[in-house]
C-alpha cells in the first residue's frame, strides 16, 4: 500500500540530515579501517628494521597491538563491513522497509560500529592497560559517530514528533519507490566512499614516510579499495541510466 503523504519542509530537512549522518559515519568508518591497517595487520615486533632507525620509538608505543591482536584485527574487519552496511541502511530507508525492521537492523549496525571502536580506543589510550587513560586515539571518531547514530535512532523511534516525520518520509510516494532514484542515490553514496578512500590514500601516503621512504605497505591496497568502490558506484549509476531508458512494450499493455 502506498500512502499519499504530504511532507513538510522541516520534516524533509530532518530526514536529509539523518541520511547525511549515515553517510558521514560510513566515511569515518572506512577512513578508520584504512588508517588502522598499517598497525593491525603489520604488527610491530619491538625490533625495528630498515628503513626505521634503530631507536625509533614507534615500535615501543605499539607493542600492545600484538598482545591484543585478537581485539584489533576482528574490529578492523567489522569496521570495513559496517562502513558498507550504512550504505544498505540508506537504501533500506529509501525503499520503504518497515520501520520496526529498519530500526532493529540500524541499531545492530551502529552498535557493532560502536563496540568495535570502543574496545580498541580504550586499549590504545591505556597502552594495553599499562598506563593511565589518556583520551586521544583516532578510534574515538567512529565510536562517537556510531553512538550518535544510536541516540538519533532511539529518538526517531520513541519521540512522537520525530517518529511522525520519519513515517511520513518513508511512506511518501514522491520520495521513494523508483528503481532509478534508488540506484542513483546508492551510486552517490559509493562515489562518496570512493572520494574518501582516495583522499585517505594521499594522507596515509604522506603520513608514513620515514627517511624519505614510504613504509606503509598497504597504501596500494587502500587505493585499490577506492577503485573498487568507484566501480560499484559507476555500475549502479549506469544501471540507473539503462533503467531510465526502458519503456514497456505495447504488446504487454492490455486494454479493457
Question: How many other CB atoms sit within 10 Å of the CB of residue 111?
Answer: 15
Q: How confident is the model at residue 78 (pLDDT cuts 50, 70, 90)?
A: very high
Residue 40 grid cell: 593491525
Q: How many domains does the chain have?
A: 1
Q: Is the pLDDT of residue 5 over 60?
A: no
Q: Residue 164: its pLDDT value, please?
A: 67
Instruction: Render pLDDT for 160-218 as a digit per residue (tens, 0 to 9).
Output: 777 766 666 655 544 444 566 666 667 777 777 777 766 666 666 665 555 555 555 55
Q: Residue 27: its pLDDT value, please?
A: 80
Residue 69 lies in a domain: yes
Residue 231 lies in a domain: no
Residue 227 lies in a domain: no
Residue 51: cis peptide before it, omega within 30 degrees of 0: yes
Produce one character per residue of 143-182: b if its CB has 16 or more CB atoms within 10 Å, e if not.
bbbbbebbebbeebbeeeebeebbebbbbbeebbebeeeb
Residue 255 lies in a domain: no
Residue 126 lies in a domain: yes
Residue 4 lies in a domain: no
Residue 118 lies in a domain: yes
DSSP string covering 77-123? HHHHHHHHHHHHHHHHHHTT--HHHHHHHHHHHHHHHHHHHHHHHHH
**Mean pLDDT, the chain, integer:** 72
Q: Is the pLDDT of residue 246 over 60?
A: no
Picking from 228, 69, 60, the residue whose alpha carbon sits closest to that of residue 130 is: 60
Let me know how long the chain is: 256
Q: Taking the model in full, what pTM does it have?
A: 0.68
Residue 219 lies in a domain: no
Q: What is the DSSP letter of 127?
A: T
- Integer angstrom CA distances of residue 79 from 27, 102, 128: 11, 20, 20
Q: What is the DSSP letter of 254?
A: -
Q: Is the pLDDT of residue 48 over 50?
A: no
Domain housing 173: 9-184
Q: How confident is the model at residue 3 (pLDDT cuts 50, 70, 90)?
A: very low
Amino acid at each position: 500500500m502506498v500512502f499519499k503523504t504530504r511532507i513538510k519542509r522541516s520534516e524533509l530537512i530532518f530526514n536529509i540530515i539523518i541520511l547525511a549522518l549515515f553517510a558521514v559515519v560510513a566515511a569515518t568508518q572506512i577512513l578508520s579501517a584504512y588508517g588502522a591497517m598499517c598497525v593491525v595487520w603489520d604488527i610491530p615486533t619491538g625490533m625495528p628494521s630498515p628503513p626505521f632507525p634503530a631507536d625509533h620509538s614507534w615500535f615501543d608505543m605499539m607493542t600492545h597491538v600484538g598482545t591484543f591482536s585478537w581485539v584489533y584485527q576482528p574490529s578492523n574487519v567489522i569496521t570495513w563491513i559496517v562502513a558498507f552496511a550504512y550504505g544498505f541502511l540508506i537504501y533500506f530507508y529509501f525503499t520503504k522497509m518497515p520501520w520496526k525492521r529498519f530500526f532493529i537492523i540500524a541499531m545492530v549496525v551502529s552498535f557493532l560500529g560502536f563496540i568495535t571502536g570502543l574496545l580498541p580506543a580504550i586499549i590504545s589510550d591505556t597502552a594495553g592497560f599499562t598506563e593511565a587513560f589518556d583520551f586521544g586515539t583516532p578510534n574515538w571518531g567512529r565510536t562517537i559517530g556510531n553512538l550518535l547514530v544510536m541516540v538519533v535512532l532511539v529518538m526517531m523511534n520513541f519521540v512522537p514528533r520525530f517518529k511522525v516525520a520519519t513515517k511520513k518520509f518513508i511512506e511518501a510516494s514522491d520520495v521513494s519507490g523508483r528503481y532509478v532514484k534508488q540506484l542513483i542515490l546508492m551510486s552517490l553514496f559509493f562515489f562518496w566512499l570512493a572520494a574518501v578512500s582516495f583522499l585517505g590514500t594521499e594522507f596515509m601516503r604522506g603520513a608514513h614516510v620515514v627517511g624519505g621512504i614510504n613504509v606503509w605497505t598497504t597504501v596500494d591496497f587502500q587505493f585499490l579499495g577506492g577503485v573498487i568502490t568507484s566501480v560499484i558506484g559507476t555500475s549502479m549509476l549506469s544501471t540507473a541510466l539503462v533503467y531510465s531508458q526502458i519503456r514497456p512494450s505495447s504488446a504487454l499493455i492490455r486494454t479493457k
